[in-house]
């Protein structure tokens, strides 16, 4: 059984690439299992992957590194239920130190994984460009420490969303990256394209794919101070919108929350919505560097395609900013938008947390 561990910053495109990759393997006749991982409890990604009939289990409420036993249990469960040939594991985007706390421990604990296991580190091309050029970044220094450490430990860095960077910037980026990180493999990728995701998989299975085996020096106090700046807010609501007119309020909720939390007091690591009518779903995902208006183009058309009368709306917000304000804004927008029109809704579940101090289950340094 082959493990593909996919790390990298929040919103960099890990789930998108895994979704494509899983479908590619399935078309090739392989059996696939996926483990998602977030700080929250009611994950948009899990619901999305399952809606595509991809066998998916999750580690929630913290990262794989600090919940390695849970991760192992999920892998065992996937093995018993689906007999996978390959497993994709996505780590929380605010997580680093995966070589020492996940890869090395798994090599020790699990005889059923083919060696070597692979680690890809994803980054949004636009964020990486800004970082390498010393331009202003949308997150605090504490959070950027984790981003830097993710890049440091990756042998293969997938510079994802390459389609969102113009040619001139792309041409500048690669030499800068090679100069700062000698020896690493950089791969420009548009994960919305299956052909490019297929090439990534081929690279991971090729001998030139460089796999990191060195545990980094990691300042856990600094890492923890970055983690603490994030707030996670989950909501899942059920809404009756039995005529087309009412659906506009679902769109308004998503749009208003995005606008509010794009304000100065916040940095959006990710803001994800999954709207499901029981048969089909649409996903909306905003990250700090996205232009909201252009992201919304097309989204209202997708909403029109949903035909149900009852919807569930799942919201996952991972945001740098004050927790109470984030929660209050989300809840106020939901209630004001729906109450003003007398639309029935109920809150199915909710969850809020600020990640705690990272305490890996097992950490293996360099011997
Ligand atoms: N244009 C473009 N968008 C992408 C690409 N990969 C992911 N996205 C979008 O980026 C957002 C975040 O992606 P997601 O896979 O959820 O990121 P994750 O948090 O790393 O799992 C989503 O809106 C995706 O559709 C890409 O290569 N190009
Ligand atoms: Mg994801």
* Full set of structural domains in the chain with CATH: 2-225 (3.40.50.300), 230-353 (3.30.70.360)
Asked whether 196 lines ligand 1 (CB < 6 A), one says no
Residue 237 is predicted with a pLDDT of 96
Structure tokens, 132: 């390498």
Substitution site in 5, 6, 7, 11 for ligand 1 pocket (most atoms within 8 Å of beta carbon): 11
Distance CA 135, CA 144 (A): 13
Residue nearest to atom 23 of ligand 1 (CA): 285
Are the C-beta atoms of 103 and 218 separated by less than 8 Å?
Answer: no
Q: What's the 16 CA to ligand 1 centre distance in angstroms? A: 6
Ligand showing the shortest atom-to-Cα distance for residue 38? 2
Residue 353 is predicted with a pLDDT of 87
Which numbered atom of ligand 1 lies nearest the CA of 8? 20
Residue 157 is predicted with a pLDDT of 96
Residue 168 is predicted with a pLDDT of 97
- pLDDT by residue (tens digit) across 97-155? 999 999 999 999 999 998 878 899 999 999 999 999 999 999 999 999 999 999 999 99
Residue nearest to atom 22 of ligand 1 (CA): 285
Distance CA 273, CA 236 (A): 10
List of the chain residues with pLDDT < 70: 210, 212
Strands (E), the chain: 2-8, 32-37, 56-59, 86-90, 118-124, 156-160, 185-189, 230-240, 267-276, 281-286, 310-320, 345-353
State residue 85 phi and psi, 5-degree precision. Answer: -85, -30
Q: What's the 11 CA to ligand 1 centre distance in angstroms? A: 6
Residue 210 is predicted with a pLDDT of 64
Q: What is the DSSP string of 2-47?
A: EEEEEEESTTSSHHHHHHHHHHHHHHTT--EEEEEE-SSSS-HHHH
Residue 298 is predicted with a pLDDT of 79
Distance CA 311, CA 262 (A): 25
Residue nearest to atom 6 of ligand 1 (CA): 13
Residue nearest to atom 26 of ligand 1 (CA): 161
Q: What's the 128 CA to ligand 1 centre distance in angstroms? A: 15
Residue nearest to atom 1 of ligand 1 (CA): 161
Residues in Cβ contact with 290 at an 8 Å cutoff, skipping those fewer than 6 apart: none
Residue 213 is predicted with a pLDDT of 79
Asked whether 56 lines ligand 1 (CB < 6 A), one says no
Asked whether 146 lines ligand 1 (CB < 6 A), one says no
Asked whether 192 lines ligand 1 (CB < 6 A), one says yes
Residue 212 is predicted with a pLDDT of 66
Distance CA 11, CA 316 (A): 12
> Where does residue 136 rank: exposed (0-12), middle (13-18), buried (19+ CB within 10 A)?
exposed
Q: What's the 21 CA to ligand 1 centre distance in angstroms? A: 14
Asked whether 11 lines ligand 1 (CB < 6 A), one says yes
Residue 305 is predicted with a pLDDT of 84
Residue nearest to atom 8 of ligand 1 (CA): 13
User: Residue 254: how many CA atoms within 13 Å on its side-chain side?
Assistant: 27
């Amino acid at each position: 059984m082959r493990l593909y561990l996919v790390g990298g910053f929040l919103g960099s495109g890990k789930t998108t690439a895994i979704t494509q990759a899983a479908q590619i393997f399935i078309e090739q006749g392989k059996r696939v299992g996926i483990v998602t991982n977030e700080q929250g409890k009611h994950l948009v990604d899990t619901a999305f992957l399952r809606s595509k009939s991809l066998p998916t289990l999750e580690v929630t409420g913290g990262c794989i590194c600090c919940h390695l036993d849970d991760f192992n249990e999920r892998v065992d469960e996937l093995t018993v239920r689906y007999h996978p040939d390959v497993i994709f594991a996505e780590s929380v985007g605010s997580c680093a130190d995966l070589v020492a706390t996940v890869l090395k421990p798994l090599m020790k604990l699990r005889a059923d994984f083919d060696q070597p296991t692979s680690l890809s580190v994803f980054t949004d091309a636009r964020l990486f460009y800004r970082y390498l050029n010393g331009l202003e970044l949308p997150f605090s220094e504490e959070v950027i420490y984790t981003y830097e450490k993710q890049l440091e430990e990756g042998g293969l860095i997938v510079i994802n969303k390459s389609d969102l960077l113009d040619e001139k910037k792309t041409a500048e980026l690669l030499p800068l990256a090679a100069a700062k990180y000698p020896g690493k493999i950089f791969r420009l990728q548009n994960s919305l394209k299956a052909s490019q995701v297929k090439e990534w998989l081929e690279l991971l299975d090729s001998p030139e794919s460089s796999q990191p085996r060195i545990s980094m020096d990691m300042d856990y106090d600094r890492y923890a101070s970055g983690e603490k700046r994030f707030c996670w807010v989950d909501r899942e609501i059920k809404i009756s919108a039995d005529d087309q007119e009412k659906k506009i309020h679902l769109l308004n909720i998503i749009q208003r929350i995005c606008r509010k939390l794009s304000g100065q007091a916040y940095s959006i690591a990710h803001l994800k919505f999954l709207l499901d009518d029981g048969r089909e779903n649409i996903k909306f995902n905003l990250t700090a560097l996205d232009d909201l208006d252009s992201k919304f183009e097309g989204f209202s058309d997708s909403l029109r395609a949903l035909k149900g009368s009852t919807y569930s709306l799942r919201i996952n917000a991972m945001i740098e900013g004050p927790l109470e304000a984030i929660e209050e804004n989300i809840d106020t927008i939901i209630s004001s938008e729906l109450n003003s029109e007398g639309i029935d809704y109920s809150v199915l579940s909710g969850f809020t947390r600020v990640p705690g101090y990272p305490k890996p289950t097992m950490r293996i340094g360099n011997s």
